[in-house]
Amino acid sequence: MSYTKNRMKINKSNYLNMTQSVVLYGGQFNPVHTAHAAVASEVYHTLKPDRFLFLPSYMSPLKAHRSELNTEHRVHMLELAAAELGFGEVCLAEIERKGESYTYDTIRALKSELGDADLYFVIGTDQYEQLDRWYHIEALKELVTFVVVNRGKAEQEIEAGMIGVQIPRIDISSSLIRERIKNNQTIEVLVPRKVEDYIREERLYES
């Protein structure tokens, strides 16, 4: 299967009209769920960027990995979620590069394509608390403005130069979705409706 709707590749033709502000929201999205959608919506409507890019990772250096779902399914579910939200594109930068997805390398590649656009990178509390482990973090802070959303706590304190966005607490995770599917439990409302339909049609995560 080949899916191209709402998908952005690293290609200079995509940037003929340079934008002023671009939000990047990265993650494994395995699968994308309602909490992801809530974060995207709150950040999008708070910052009102020119473009909002979902950035699925090929392989996160700070997470354990299993070959439980191929990349094409993850990307397509993101496209379905973006369509329901009414905004957003899927950026394939890390998918196409393969290997471990170091944010610093990704941002440098995108920066050369996006020109003078202001880049904003969305992270949660869990990622914020381990930023010191990120590859070339000090150099990365010079390239992007981090947007920190509270996760697992009512309020999030952040360092100077970052943007904090408060979202309602939603205790949903991709691992929870996968576990419920394996146990033949409902995932209704936990993921966007079209994503749920796709998971059921393709029988994803059932084993």
- Answer positive or negative: Cα dihedral of 13, 60, 179, 34: negative
Q: Is residue 110 part of a domain?
A: yes
Domain count, the chain: 1
Q: Is residue 23 part of a domain?
A: yes
Do residues 151 and 36 lie in contact, with contact meaning Cβ atoms separated by under 8 Å? no
Q: Is residue 126 part of a domain?
A: yes
- Please give the average pLDDT of every successive group of 10 residues along the chain, which has 207 residues: 48 49 96 97 97 88 53 95 97 87 91 91 94 96 96 79 91 94 96 97 93
Q: Is residue 112 part of a domain?
A: yes
Q: Is residue 2 part of a domain?
A: no
- Check residue 146 and give its pLDDT: 98
- The end-to-end CA distance of the chain, in Å, is 22
Q: Is residue 1 part of a domain?
A: no
Helices (H), 25-173: 34-47, 71-85, 93-97, 103-114, 125-128, 137-143
- Check residue 3 and give its pLDDT: 40
18 vs 35: CA distance, rounded Å = 30
Q: Is residue 207 part of a domain?
A: no
What residue numbers bound the domain in which 194 lies? 7-202
CATH code at position 163: 3.40.50.620
Q: Is residue 58 part of a domain?
A: yes
74 phi/psi in degrees, rounded to 5:
-60, -45
- Check residue 19 and give its pLDDT: 52
